[in-house]
Amino acid sequence: MNKNSIRRLVLDVLKPHNPPTPVLAKILASMDGVDGVNISLIEVDAETETVKITIEGPDLDFDSIKKKIEECGAKIHSIDQVVAGRIMVEEVDTEHTR
């Protein structure tokens, strides 16, 4: 593992109903460098679903992950969190974020 490796990505994604969320999770979890995937449903409409995808692993390749998501017909709206480096640094509450 590179000391500057991406270890966690949190993505806001708009996806079609197909593939179903469990299938998308399996597809992403099977990628090299990915140890785990969590997909949470945020909103559903007639054609699409908005989901939050959290991906963790020792050496995530953002470009490959983005490409795989797009191959499934989905689109990344935003990158909500990135954790990189030798350790996982968790977000800390401060006065102005409480």
- Distance, in Å, from the CA atom of 15 to the CA atom of 17, rounded to the nearest integer, reads 7
With a cut of 90, say whether residue 97 has pLDDT above it: no
User: Would you give the DSSP letter of residue 97?
Assistant: G
Phi, psi of 63 (to 5 degrees): -60, -40
Q: 62-71 and 21-29 are packed helices; what angle lies between their axes, rounded to 10 degrees?
A: 150
* 10-to-29, 46, 56, 59, 96 alpha-carbon distances in Å: 14, 25, 9, 15, 22
91 close to 33: Cβ distance less than 8 angstroms: no
Segments forming the whole domain that contains residue 73:
6-86
pLDDT digit string (tens) for 25-77?
Answer: 999 999 999 999 999 999 999 999 999 999 999 999 999 999 999 999 999 99
CATH of the domain at 16: 3.30.70.1340
Our count of domains for the chain comes to 1
Assigned domain for 95 exists: no
Residue 18 in domain: yes
pTM recorded for the entire structure? 0.90
> What's the confidence (pLDDT) of residue 57?
96
42 found inside a domain: yes
Backbone dihedral region of 29: left (phi > 0), alpha (psi from -120 to 50 degrees) or beta?
A: alpha
Residue 90 pLDDT > 90, yes or no? no
| pLDDT over 90 (residue 94) | no
